[in-house]
Amino acid sequence: MSDSLTPSPTHFSTTLATWYARHQRPLPWRATRDPYAIWLSEVILQQTRVAQGLPYYERFLSAYPTIRDLAAAPEDEVLRHWQGLGYYARARNMHATAKIIAEELGGRFPTTYAALVQLRGIGPYTGAAVASFAFGERVAVVDGNVFRVLARVFGIADDIARPATRAIFQRQADALIAAAPDPAEFNQALMEFGAVQCTPAKPDCLFCPLRANCFAFEHGMVGQLPVKAKAKPAPTRHVHYVVLRWAESIYLRKRAGGDIWHGLYDLPALETDAEQLDSAVLAQQLIEWQATAAPTPSHLAEPAPTYRQLLSHQKLAARFHEVELLQPLTASTLATSGLALYSAAEIEALPKPRLLVQWLAENG
């Protein structure tokens, strides 16, 4: 969809630059050309709001001032610094890429988009951001903010949930950046415009400098663009965590198997089709663990509260059931279950899923 009122590339980039000079937020990664700092900020800000990501960015740079420092850090430590951001694959990919750059590339980032996207965890968006912000390469970034601005201004009604649609927006962004004097500033300005002015809900159309050239505003479609197909309702998983206590310590396991919490330390869990846990199910599990527990586990005395977390494709409804052990788990149980005993201080230093962090904060 297009319209004669939509702006030319030159008008668009000039208007955007003027707006950005007045309205940009003073964010630390905008004051550097260091590819490491820029890359770090972009990885942290994926799927994350600036207000939430900024403290993580500052803590990571403090803990790991250079990419060699990050590469040399233990994975548990990196994941602990990441704790609370979610999407932990980002942290694991970031750590792996840091090792490649430090060990195989002499600590130097590739200087081109084409080379950057060959690295683990660096896709088209992050590659374009680092290439343009650090090295001035004329390659356009396309993220959620860019989708929204371009869809509204240029009347692009293709479904942004479809992977093939990205190419349509990439072509439009590439045509616009070609007319911009400074590709780094153009990319920053376009993303900032979507984050501050052309927001998902209640965009500030009244004071928008592109209003006279905006297809969506002219045609009353601001609320309809960009087009994104509704996702299927997320299923709910009922997870029952078993808190095995022994001598002021708790048994945890390090998650493996490549799931979303791979590498984090978690409680053993039972999954059911309902929100309640049958006492017979727990009793059988304790037998399998060779766990000698108090006759009436505390969790059976009254219903445990439910903790909820919304993930990208599912909802978790979790309950924590405490069991006081009368003796520690056997060596054979530890070997087969992957469980190990940790003190409160040790648990604090380990990377953990959000639900466990929340439960510990409320229950010690």
**Catalytically active residues, by annotation:** 42
Q: At what angle do helices 144-154 and 165-177 cross, to 10 degrees?
A: 80
Give the count of beta carbons closer than 10 Å to the beta carbon of residue 158: 17
Q: At what angle do helices 183-196 and 9-23 cross, to 10 degrees?
A: 70
Tokens of 11: 């008008």
Give the C-alpha separation, 256 to 259, whole Å: 7
Residues 6+ apart with CB under 8 A from 213: 5, 6, 7, 11, 12, 153
Give the count of beta carbons closer than 10 Å to the beta carbon of residue 29: 20
